[in-house]
Chains A and B, each alone.
Chain A
Amino acid sequence: GAVVSQHPSRVICKSGTSVKIECRSLDFQATTMFWYRQFPKQSLMLMATSNEGSKATYEQGVEKDKFLINHASLTLSTLTVTSAHPEDSSFYICSARFAPEAFFGQGTRLTVV
């Protein structure tokens, strides 16, 4: 079946630095990918919709200048957390639809120290 690969699985960075998370669809083309954020013991909250070749669509309350999304090809979307701060520490998960299915990456645990 279709696979979505997310990398890295965990990253620790210093406050003020930027971190890039990659999300790849391995055996299908994804014109649209989704980025979710999950706080401890909470549900997945949609952050943004990544569109190949165009600007991402951000959910209300998500800072687009902090969470930069690039979807330069049909198989790769990246989320860059810029000038990370401890409050950005969270679990980030990407997803792509291969209708009617939805496939998820393994998630990235970001810790900002």
Chain B
Amino acid sequence: AQSVAQPEDQVNVAEGNPLTVKCTYSVSGNPYLFWYVQYPNRGLQFLLKYITGDNLVKGSYGFEAEFNKSQTSFHLKKPSALVSDSALYFCAVSFISGNTPLVFGKGTRLSVIA
């Protein structure tokens, strides 16, 4: 079975500091990994994905994530946090590219303090 763990419910970071939101996964086979952001009462906005290729993936709004196969991790990072980055972040996994649903982590609330 595939699963995703986001070990932190809440991450607090000062504006301008680097941020990391952690994600580990468990799948059999090669995973497809995604990060989404959600603002209050809104749908999910796609940030980035890892399908294959370079382990460091760059996405929207200055976010990036590194796929680490040995540690089964896909942590989301940004060099310099903005107050507007405050939101709910979801990591998701799929191990088949066809018509299967994504499996989501429980989400991590990021709070960037001015």
Give the size range of A's interface with the partner.
20 to 34
Please provide the chain A residues from 71 to 113 with a CB less than 8 Å away from any CB of chain B in the complex: 91, 93, 95, 97, 99-107, 109
Report yes or no: A102 in contact with B102, Cβ–Cβ below 8 A. Answer: yes
Q: Name the CB-closest residue of B to A44.
A: B104
Report whether over half of chain A's contact residues are helix, strand or loop; otherwise say mixed.
strand
Are B99 and A44 in contact, with the CB atoms below 8 A?
no
Contact of A91 with B41 at beta-carbon distance under 8 Å, contacts A43-B90, A100-B94, A102-B34 already known: yes
The answer to whether B104 and A104 have CB atoms under 8 Å apart is: no
Specify which of B49, B99, B106, B109 is in contact with A32 (CB 8 Å cutoff). B99
Question: B30 to nearest A CB, angstroms?
Answer: 11
Residues of chain B within 8 A (CB-CB) of A6 are 43
Which of B44, B90, B97 is the one whose CB lies under 8 Å from A100?
B97
Residue of A42, A95, A97 near B106 (CB, 8 A) is: A42
Whether A100 pairs with B51 at a CB distance below 8 angstroms is: yes
> B101, A34: Cβ atoms under 8 Å?
yes
Residue A31 lies at the interface, judged by CB distance under 8 Å to chain B: yes
